[in-house]
Amino acid sequence: MVADPPTRTGRILPVAVAGVLLLVATVTFAVIDPLLAWDDANPFLGRGRLFLYFTSQSNLLAVSACVVFGVALLRGRYPGRTAEYLRGLAAVDMAITGIVANLLLAEPDAPWSFSDFVLHQAMPVLMVVWWIAAPPAEPLPVTAIALWLTHPVIWTAMTLTYAAESSDRWYPYFFLDPAQVGGWGGVAAFVAVIHLVIGVLGLGAVLASRAQWSDAVGKALGREERDPRVPDRRGTGGLTHA
């Protein structure tokens, strides 16, 4: 049976959500200010060092997820499974970004900064809330955790390699610098704990992807009701998958 095309009223929510996602992506990208990475006069962010911050990478992943979903919803399509893996990676990475920034790196006496608020507080909360409130159309397997851990592992190797090759032994965070944490044993301990927390967050994201309200959220965003004759795969019907 051919489904009726979505009504004007039924398109309001998906378009509104798309607008919010694209606005969030634009503001966050502007706050990151990638052009700073090529400012050689800036010893902390220039020479590409901006991109070695996990905060920058996780926020760029969040921006990518917002753009992918925003554009898909504007086109009347519901993003496919690959996009959900990207959104899950962004949610997990932003969660650990918020935790590390606010528990390990926060300076109580530091003045309020809009960029710091967006990158370390607002975006982590937004990505986690988005994942929980609008879980994937289909639940993700536990193996997704291993996939999501790939990025932090690569990031750790990349930053340590950069520090070893740089003339000033530059590290983006104190816990990666053996001189500040009692040697390489201290670095290994910090890295192990952070990756363990990421694994736990990933498990939480997988469990959240199995939330029973996924169908209701999908329908509100324009996904058609599932044919009862089709096995429940939570997401096979509705908006065309991109």
Residue 87's pLDDT band (boundaries 50, 70, 90)?
A: very high
d(CA 4, CA 238): 11
- For the record, the structure tokens of 99 come out as 């935790």
Question: Quick one: which H or E segment has residue 59?
Answer: helix 54-74
**pLDDT value for 196:** 97
Q: Is the pLDDT of residue 97 over 70?
A: yes
Is the four-CA dihedral 212, 216, 77, 234 of positive or negative sign? positive
Q: What is the mean pLDDT of residues 111-133?
A: 95
**pLDDT value for 39:** 75
- For the record, the structure tokens of 144 come out as 């997704």
**pLDDT value for 221:** 61
Q: Is the pLDDT of residue 156 over 80?
A: yes
Does 201 or 34 have the greater pLDDT score? 201
**pLDDT value for 10:** 60
Q: What is the mean pLDDT of residues 5-15?
A: 66
Identity of the residue numbered 130 = W
